[in-house]
Amino acid sequence: MGVLATSLSYGPPVLRDATVDASLVSELQAAQEDQRDIISVVPGEGDVLGVWVYSGDVYAFRNKSGSVTAGMYKSTATGWDEVDLGTALDFDGTTTAGEPIPGDVGTPTTIVGAGGAQGDLAGIAYHGLWETGGAGTMVLTNVTGTFVDNENLTMPLLAFDTGSIEISEGDTITGASSGKTAIVTSVRVSSGDWPDDDVTGYLSVKDNSGTWTNSEAIQINGVQHALVNGASEPTAVTIAKADGTQYEQTLNPGGLYEFVTYNFRGETAGITMYGVNTVDKGFSWDGTVFIKQPTGMSVDTPEHIAAHQLHLFYSYPNGSIQHSSIAYPNQWSVITGAAELNVGDNVSGFSTEVNNVMSIFTRNNAYMLYGTSSADWDLRQFHAGAGAIAYTLQKMDQTFFLDDRGLTSLFTVQYFGDFQSAVASDKIDPYIQSQKENSVGSIKVRGKNQYRIFFNDKTGLAMTFINKKNQGIMPFTMSDQVTCLASVEDANGFEVLYGGFDDGYVRRLDSGNNFDGSEVASFIRTAYYHYDSPGKRKRFRELNIEMNADTSTTLTVTPDYDFGGTFTPPSSPVSSSYEVTVTADAWNQDDISNSSTGVTVVASERVKINGIGTNMGLIIANSSTYDKPITLQGAYVDYSSRGIRR
């Protein structure tokens, strides 16, 4: 046994003070860059196609080298690891004997081909009714041999008759004479009725302990429910036919990814990640098993996804909306609750509103889906002319989206209708109109009550909504081009924002103080103010800028007079810029124990200025790589009045 020392400690840790330790800040900056050097791109080439967080792990999708297929990758401590999508076998020709169910724990069901190939069932998805001819995909593990096209597929089933009390999935059954036990994964009734004591059928089981005895009682908690029908049960029974041989699952290249995490089973193990990508079948990932979800559509490439009322919804071109069977996202049969809806135009996205109503948007219309299942769905056109551009829908306290008329919300549309007053971005409408066809995605920022939209020229808009009121819109520019976005919660329930970029990196947004090592340039421009005397000239002498700052940095303050010098002749020479050094004023232990706890710590920085004008505005700018953000609380101005401007 050997031990390798990776570091040495000389005494207890010591709190270092940057105000007296000149090397501390540079050491911290060097440590940041050391960590940055180990960050790697998602393997492959081209844009990052999709990013999501599931069960605390970050996943990304990107074309592999050559762009023949795409890969799914998981972020780990050592970089990006490709996710093995597993081995699949397509099937059709299902029988009335019963369907295989993977189950959550225990020994899996083994699928055996007529030629001797076999594999353990890890996942299954299909369309159509199993008893009348379903078709789909199985994911298999521990595969031995090669399955042959059109060969019979069998699995062990326990035949029963004289059924008198219903047996359900998940029941633990016991043989009255043999003492054998098993867990029921599915029940297939061939004939009879339980009240008439004459039900016959098959039980799909797992964790079976041995061979059962013919005609022995099948008991649950000591009560007889049926009798074993045959010797040497369970026996291999044909349940479907192979549609080709087994293959390694892949993803088609390219596409636009969209995800949802949902629990269809009501237990922790049921939380699953579902996705679509516009170029392949929809899929699911539970942390272990990846499987595509065939719906039976001739071109099965869904564009948008939603989980609603225990149904999985996919949208397709030309307005088709398909949803799964109730509580079974892997089954797509009208007999068990799957159905198709149609809105007559390409769907832009889904959102869930109050009272479990789902909104469905196209480019020019909005619809509301009431009800709980295909038995009582009620699809109503909510508002003609109030539509959404794809990938701009976000659900906050209300549903926000980019319409042809600007940034708006479902709440606003409901109360004001399809008019300009319904638009929150009317004051920047020329900019919105020039950019609306260039949107690449959007996210919600819960912690800041913000809706953000990103465009294909590295720019975007952040809009803050509080109490259903727009508090302001701020444009921003990024140093890299976003291609996909995710706003989710991590394993600890904290909000995290991620963006996939065109250079192959996944970056966490609103994290750190720079653009991946590059400086961040920022500025704010105030409105021009005449200080209650629009016709009088003033000499402006001093600014007092109030701010919160837990960092030391430098601001450049530029006073601007007379609407930028538009008067002729100008009443003041060209504005001068002033450097303002900001001193850190972070909260610390002394603040916490202070009797004024709860009052924000505000610093005031003074700067002497010299300018003449009837009004003045301020441009306050900063450019830094490592400095933390500061919050401007306000400013007051010292000035003296002069004569009337003539």
Both tokens of residue 359?
A: 């909104």
- Give CA–CA dist 59/53, Å, rounded: 6
CA 349 to chain centre: 14
CA distances, 637 to each of 536, 546, 643 (Å): 16, 11, 19
pLDDT at 24 over 90: no
pLDDT at 520 over 70: yes
Beta carbons of 327 and 344 less than 8 angstroms apart: no
Closest-CA residue to 111 (of 265, 295, 242): 242
- Give CA–CA dist 545/635, Å, rounded: 4
Output the pLDDT for position 86: 97
Output the pLDDT for position 568: 66
55-64, 264-273, 356-365, 560-569: lowest mean pLDDT where? 560-569
What average pLDDT score do residues 604-625 get?
89
What average pLDDT score do residues 383-389 get?
83
Q: What is the mean pLDDT of the chain?
A: 88
**Which residue type is seen at 489?**
E
Task: Quick: pLDDT tens for 208-231.
Answer: 899 999 999 999 999 999 999 999
Alpha-helical (H) ranges within 110-153 are 130-133
- Give CA–CA dist 239/232, Å, rounded: 18
3-class state of residue 328 by DSSP: strand
Output the pLDDT for position 420: 40
Specify the DSSP element, H or E, that contains 439.
Answer: strand 439-445
Both tokens of residue 491?
A: 């394993």
Number of Cβ atoms within 10 Å of the Cβ of 288: 10
Specify the DSSP element, H or E, that contains 26.
Answer: helix 24-37
Output the pLDDT for position 431: 93
- Tokens 């329930």 -> residue: 493
Q: Give the best-scoring range by mean pLDDT among 235-239, 346-350, 562-566.
A: 346-350
- Tokens 């976005």 -> residue: 485
- Give CA–CA dist 385/374, Å, rounded: 27
What average pLDDT score do residues 631-639 get?
90
Sheet holding 630-644, edge to edge: 603-613, 536-549, 630-644
pTM, 2 dp: 0.85
**Which residue type is seen at 326?**
I
Task: Quick: pLDDT tens for 128-150.
Answer: 999 888 999 999 999 999 999 99
- Give CA–CA dist 590/609, Å, rounded: 35
Output the pLDDT for position 31: 76
Number of Cβ atoms within 10 Å of the Cβ of 331: 25
What average pLDDT score do residues 320-334 get?
96
Tell me the chain's radius of gyration from C-alpha atoms.
32
Closest-CA residue to 44 (of 22, 23, 17, 66): 66
Task: Show the beta-strand stretches assigned E in 329-449.
Answer: 331-332, 339-342, 347-352, 358-362, 365-370, 378-384, 394-395, 399-403, 406-409, 439-445
Which has more pLDDT, 26 or 239?
A: 239
Binned at pLDDT 50, 70 and 90, residue 260 comes out as very high
What average pLDDT score do residues 544-564 get?
86
Output the pLDDT for position 402: 94
Binned at pLDDT 50, 70 and 90, residue 491 comes out as confident
- Give CA–CA dist 73/59, Å, rounded: 6
Task: Quick: pLDDT tens for 439-489.
Answer: 999 999 998 999 999 999 999 999 998 887 888 898 999 989 999 999 998
What average pLDDT score do residues 397-410 get?
88
Cβ partners under 8 Å of residue 343, min gap 6: 319, 321, 360, 362, 365, 367, 379
Binned at pLDDT 50, 70 and 90, residue 10 comes out as low
pLDDT at 396 over 70: yes
Output the pLDDT for position 412: 58
- Give CA–CA dist 312/276, Å, rounded: 11
- Tokens 């889904």 -> residue: 350
Output the pLDDT for position 368: 92
Output the pLDDT for position 385: 77
SS3 content of the chain, % helix, strand, coil (to 5): 10, 50, 40
Q: What topology does CATH give the domain 521-644?
A: Jelly Rolls (2.60.120)
Share above pLDDT 90 across residues of the chain, in percent, rounded to a whole number: 61
Binned at pLDDT 50, 70 and 90, residue 599 comes out as very low
Output the pLDDT for position 1: 37
Binned at pLDDT 50, 70 and 90, residue 3 comes out as very low
Query: Given CA atoms 6, 9, 15, 18 in this order, what sign does their dihedral have?
Result: negative
Beta carbons of 113 and 147 less than 8 angstroms apart: yes
- Give CA–CA dist 232/229, Å, rounded: 10
Binned at pLDDT 50, 70 and 90, residue 598 comes out as very low
CA distances, 259 to each of 137, 277, 291, 445 (Å): 21, 9, 14, 17
The full set of domain ranges for the chain reads 88-242, 521-644
DSSP string, 277-336: -SSS-EEEE-SS-EEEE----SS----EEEEETTEEEEE-GGGEEEE-BTTBTTEE-GGG
Number of Cβ atoms within 10 Å of the Cβ of 415: 11
Q: What does DSSP assign to residue 526?
A: P
Number of Cβ atoms within 10 Å of the Cβ of 393: 21
Closest-CA residue to 280 (of 294, 261, 296): 294
Cβ partners under 8 Å of residue 515, min gap 6: 478, 479, 480
